[in-house]
Amino acid sequence: MIKPVTFKNHGQQLIGILHVPEGLESRGKTPGIVMFHGFTGNKSEAHRLFVYVARALCDSGFTVLRFDFRGSGDSDGEFDDMTVPGEISDAKKALTFLANQESVDRERIGVIGLSMGGRVAAILASQDRRVRFAVLYSAALGPLRERFLSEIAEATLQKLDSGEAIKISEGWYLKKTFFDTIDNPVPLDIMGNIKVPVLLVHSDTDQVVPMDDSRKGYEIVQNLNDKNEFYTVKGGDHTFSEREHTNEVTVKTLEWLKSVGLESRG
C-alpha cells in the first residue's frame, strides 16, 4: 500500500510517499527505511529508481518513506536556497516522521541515499543514533566546493557576494550559502564515526561522482562493522539506469539487508 504524506520543517511542508507492507496484522512491526534523493532530484528519482527500490523493499516487509527535500520536487521552498545542512535537517524530520508510524520498529530504521542524498545519509549515520543501517548509492563523499566552483565563470561567482543566485546548470540556481556549507563537513572526514552497518554501491563507469569516493569511504568504515560492504556495478552509470543495473542494485540491497538481519519478522 502506498499513500501520500506530509510533514513540516521550519514551517515548510515536505511531500512524501509512504510504502506500507500489506498484512501488517500478521507481520507485527516492520523495519523502516527513509530514502534521500540526489542533487536536483526528487522522491521518484531518475527513471523512477526510488519507486522500484521502494516497492521491492515494501514487498519484502519494510515500511519505506521517500520524500522531496525542501526546494525539490513537490515540497515547499525554492531550490535556490538548497544547502546540504538544510537537507540534513529535513532528513532528521523524515526520520522522526517514519519512527512515529505505528507499523515501524524504531530500533530497525535505516537510510538509503543516492549521490548528494548519499552524502546526507553518510553524515546523518555518523551523527544520529536512530540510524541503524545505511545504504549509499553513488554517494558524493569527498570535498565538493572546489569541484562546483571550478565549473563556474569568475564573473558569475562575483554575483554570489551580493546575495544573488547563480546558474549552476540548465534551470537550476544556487546562492552563496550552498557553496559555503557544502563541505561542512566532508563525509570522508567523519565516516569513522559510523558504527552501524553500511553498504556502499557504485558503478565503475560513473561519470558524475567518481567511484573513488565510495572506495575511500569503504576503506574508512571497512573494519568498523563486520557487515560493511562495497559493491561495484560493472559498466553502470550514476543512477544505474540500465534495467539490468536497476535490478542488480535492488537485489543486492535486499540481499545485504537480509544478511544484516533486517528482514521483516512477520
Q: Output the nine-digit C-alpha cell for 150.
A: 571550478
3-state SS, residue 227: coil
Q: Averaged over 20-27, what is the pLDDT? A: 77
pTM of the model: 0.97
In angstroms, the CA 90 to CA 170 distance is 25
C-alpha angle 210/216/220, rounded to 5°?
Answer: 155
Pairing mode, if any, of strands 172-174 and 134-137?
Answer: unpaired
Please give the domain boundaries of the chain with CATH numbers for all domains: 2-143+186-259 (3.40.50.1820), 145-181 (no CATH)
**56-72 pLDDT, tens digit each:** 999 999 999 999 999 99
The pLDDT score that the predictor gives to residue 220 is: 98
Q: How many CA atoms lie within 13 A of 86 on its CB side?
A: 23
Contacts of 187 (CB under 8 A, 6+ apart): 119, 122, 123, 126, 139, 141, 142, 217
In angstroms, the CA 196 to CA 108 distance is 11
| Other CB atoms within 10 Å distance of the CB of residue 15 | 18
DSSP codes, 53-93? HHHHHHHTT-EEEEEPPTTSTTSSS-GGG--HHHHHHHHHH
**83-114 pLDDT, tens digit each:** 999 999 999 999 999 999 999 999 999 999 99
3-state SS, residue 20: coil
Which band of pLDDT confidence, cut at 50, 70 and 90, is reported for residue 155?
A: confident
Which band of pLDDT confidence, cut at 50, 70 and 90, is reported for residue 266?
A: very low
In angstroms, the CA 254 to CA 187 distance is 25
DSSP state of 48: G
The pLDDT score that the predictor gives to residue 264 is: 53
Identify whether the C-beta of residue 109 lies closer than 8 Å to the C-beta of residue 131. Answer: yes
**184-233 pLDDT, tens digit each:** 999 999 999 999 999 999 999 999 999 999 999 999 999 999 999 999 99
